Amino acid sequence: MFGLNQRGVNGYAKVSMETGVLAASPVKLIIMLYDGAITACHSAIKHMEHQDILSKGAMLSKAIMIIESGLRLSLDKRAGGEIAVSLDALYAYMSKQLTLANIQNKPDTVTEVIKLLTELKGAWEAIDKIQITTQAQPAPASPAQSLSGAANAVVNRNIASFAKV
């Protein structure tokens, strides 16, 4: 009698997500993209474990789409300079790794990408906290303009160790 109506729950979740997107700052939008890519990667690993090839491919494709069409396309290489170029190379590396993980069915490769996404998301969350506490700072015109020195160090370290694209 009081069971969950899955369509109702999904509809509510969709409205909630849309409202969050409309109200989000540019930094929060980037964080939401990272969350989406990380969630899709975790789902892909579960589908690998259950040998659900179709769902695994769908989730890895979703993660790649978020990285390529969300994170990578939001970079402003002119305004962001070296940081944006480094992020672009790192995003290309992550997409390549997820493609290989899909073909070779390697959860460890997906886990590597999750770690990279989580590190970068943490840097953006730190930026968001700084913006919340200062409130006087306007939102950045592009994600690369917001990266702090710590975030730049994370990106450069990851580029140096992973992105031999």
User: In whole angstroms, what is the distance from residue 31 CA to residue 60 CA?
Assistant: 19
Supply the mean pLDDT for the chain.
80
Tokens representing 126 are: 């730190």
* Contact indicator for 93, 165 with CB cutoff of 8 Å: yes
Tokens representing 39 are: 């969630």
Query: pLDDT by residue (tens digit) across 21-62?
Result: 555 788 999 999 999 999 999 999 999 999 999 999 999 999
CA triplet 100, 69, 111: central angle to 5 degrees? 35
DSSP summary character for residue 27: H
- Domains of the chain, earliest start first: 25-162 (1.20.120.340)
User: In whole angstroms, what is the distance from residue 149 CA to residue 12 CA?
Assistant: 39
User: In whole angstroms, what is the distance from residue 16 CA to residue 36 CA?
Assistant: 15
Q: How confident is the model at residue 65 (pLDDT cuts 50, 70, 90)?
A: very high
* Contact indicator for 35, 135 with CB cutoff of 8 Å: no
Nearest to 17 by CA among 41, 3, 40, 35: 35
User: In whole angstroms, what is the distance from residue 78 CA to residue 84 CA?
Assistant: 8
- Burial class of residue 90 (count of CB atoms within 10 Å of its CB; 0-12, 13-18, 19+): buried
* Contact indicator for 93, 71 with CB cutoff of 8 Å: no
Tell me what pLDDT residue 22 has. Answer: 59
Nearest to 73 by CA among 95, 58, 56: 95
User: In whole angstroms, what is the distance from residue 125 CA to residue 154 CA?
Assistant: 14
Query: pLDDT by residue (tens digit) across 71-81?
Result: 999 999 899 89
Query: pLDDT by residue (tens digit) across 93-135?
Result: 999 999 999 999 999 999 999 999 999 999 999 988 888 777 6
